[in-house]
Amino acid sequence: MLGYALRRVLSAIPIALIAVTVCFFILRLAPGGPFDGERALPPTVLANLRAHYNLDQPLINQYFIYIWRLLHGDLGPSMVIDGFNVSQLIRIGFPFTLTMALTAFVIATSIGLLAGMLAAVNQNKWPDYVLVLAVMLGVVVPNFLMAALLQLWFGVYLRWLPAGGWVNGSIWHLVLPVTVLAWPHAARISRLMRGSMIEVLGTNYVRTAKSKGLGQRLVLARHAIKPALLPVVSYLGPGLSYLLTGSLAVEQIFGLPGIGKYFVTAALNRDYGIVLGTTILYMFIILALNLLVDLLYAWLDPKVRYR
């Protein structure tokens, strides 16, 4: 298993280099640049800015400058947010995004698994119908709409929770954003768990266990939960990636200091440094999560063997 993990880590290096290269050149090929705003800058000012950020050099030189800096752990400057460089922005924003995503992940996974099991053992009874409704709401209502509705109900009308912001941030500031993030995720997990559990409960070995006189709780605990978790585990890696990368709307609407919104804003502003920096960050997260899920999968399913 250790050898497999090492091989996977080493194979990620060329993948990362290719991804950075492709991203670098695609970004530069896109029309418009970081200084193409509403106002044309005088040529002298534009020339000064381009020289300041090495944009006056041939593209291939710019690429090697970037790679050289990257190898030295420098993600370069932001061309639009001048007060911080890319590494500083990531250091400030990413822990917040990670905290929010992990909180949502733990809550969503716990609720999703429990609700899925509950629905499976109560198939076509009222707990199942309630779950189906909650799942529908979670999946169908887009997160920006859910954010606005929760903000309106709990922040404006009831005034139970802060409607946004992070001034003197307390746990209460996280309740609405985490709910918005966790809900669709919990809905998907519960749907997966429900389907998988129903399938497992219909298998011969579960029927055999029941016919031996084992109670439902014991059947679930000993024979059903572990195999039923397999499809859910496959989803957890992409699910966490989704939570980390999909927090954009939530951060935007609630005015939170995460990194998610920088990615999109930077892409629109052609802020090459931030786009590349966040892409690299997310790429490593996705590669790491995929590896983690593969290892977890092997642990859960002895049929999976790695050479």
Partner 1 sequence: MKLHSTLTAVAAAGAMALMMSTAASAVTLQMHNGGDPGSLDPHKVSGDWENRVVGDYIEGLVTEDTKADAIPGQAESWDISEDGTVYTFHLRDGIKWTDGTPVTADDFVFAFQRLMNPATASEYAYLQYPIKNAEAINSGEITDFSQLGVKAIDDKTVEITLEAATPYFLQALTHYTAYPVPKHLVEEYGDAWTNIDHIVANGPFKITEWLPGSYVHSVKNEDYYDAANVKIDEVYYHVLEDQAAALNRYRAGEFDILTDFPADQYQWIQDNLPGQAHVEPFLGVYYYVLNQEKPPLDNPSIREALSISVLRDVIGPDILGTGELPAYGWVPEGTANYEGETYLPEWSKLPYEERVAKAKELMAAAGYTPENPLTLQLRYNTNDNHQRIAVAIAAMWEPIGVKVELFNAETAVHYDALRAGDFNVGRAGWLLDYSDAANTLDLLKTGTQQGETMNWGNNYGRYSNPEFDKLMTDAAVELDLTKRAGLLHQAEKLAMDEFAAIPIYWYVSKNVVSPKITGFEDNAKDIHRTRWLTKAE
Footprint of partner 1 (CB under 8 A): 30-45, 47-49, 51-52, 80-84, 89, 92-93, 147-148, 151-152, 155-156, 159, 162-167, 251-259, 261-262, 265, 268-270
- Of 38 and 307, the one with the shorter C-beta distance to partner 1 is 38
Single-letter residue type at 148: A
Instruction: In angstroms, give the least distance from the CB of 35 to partner 1.
Output: 8
**Ordered alpha helix ranges (H), 202-224:** 204-211, 216-219
Taking CA atoms, 60 is separated from 18, 28, 64, 74, 274, in Å, by 15, 11, 6, 18, 19
Instruction: In angstroms, give the least distance from the CB of 288 to partner 1.
Output: 24
Instruction: In angstroms, give the least distance from the CB of 266 to partner 1.
Output: 11
241 HSE (CA, 13 A, CB side): 19
CA-CA distance, 120 to 237, in Å (whole number)? 23
Work out the end-to-end distance of the chain between its first and last CA atoms, rounded to an integer number of angstroms.
Answer: 8
Instruction: In angstroms, give the least distance from the CB of 243 to partner 1.
Output: 18
- Of 24 and 35, the one with the shorter C-beta distance to partner 1 is 35
CA-CA distance, 250 to 100, in Å (whole number)? 10
- Of 15 and 145, the one with the shorter C-beta distance to partner 1 is 145
193 in Cβ contact with 109 (< 8 Å): no
- Of 126 and 157, the one with the shorter C-beta distance to partner 1 is 157
- Of 9 and 152, the one with the shorter C-beta distance to partner 1 is 152
Instruction: In angstroms, give the least distance from the CB of 94 to partner 1.
Output: 11
